[in-house]
């Protein structure tokens, strides 16, 4: 969840489908340590998601305790394609 470099472009269409299917759905990303990485991903998502990008939010990087609180609030955690959580 805290590595935006894992978000492969093949995952963008999956996010689009999920947001279309769940009209109340939100995507929350954790900002990269390098703002340019976050900005590049958001620009790519704007091109794919169009107006639905408004349902994509970015929160600051988290220390361990904050990260665990953040993920405990999620209904669903997704890992990207081409990478796996184990």
pLDDT one-digit tens code per residue, 12-45: 999 999 999 999 999 999 999 999 999 999 999 9
Contact residues for 32 (Cβ-Cβ < 8 A; gap 6+): 3, 4, 5, 38, 41, 61
Average model confidence (pLDDT) for the chain? 92
Residue 55: band (very low, low, confident or very high) from pLDDT cuts 50, 70, 90: very high
Q: What is the pTM of this model?
A: 0.88
Q: Which residues pair with 56 in a beta bridge?
A: 27
Q: Which residues pair with 27 in a beta bridge?
A: 56
């Amino acid at each position: 969840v805290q590595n935006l470099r894992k978000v492969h472009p093949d995952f963008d269409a999956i996010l689009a489908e999920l947001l279309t299917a769940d009209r109340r759905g939100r995507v929350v990303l954790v900002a990269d340590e390098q703002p340019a990485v976050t900005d590049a991903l958001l620009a790519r998502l704007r091109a794919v998601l169009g107006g639905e990008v408004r349902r994509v939010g970015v929160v600051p990087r988290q220390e361990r305790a904050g990260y665990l609180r953040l993920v405990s609030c999620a209904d669903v955690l997704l890992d990207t394609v081409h990478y796996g959580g184990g």
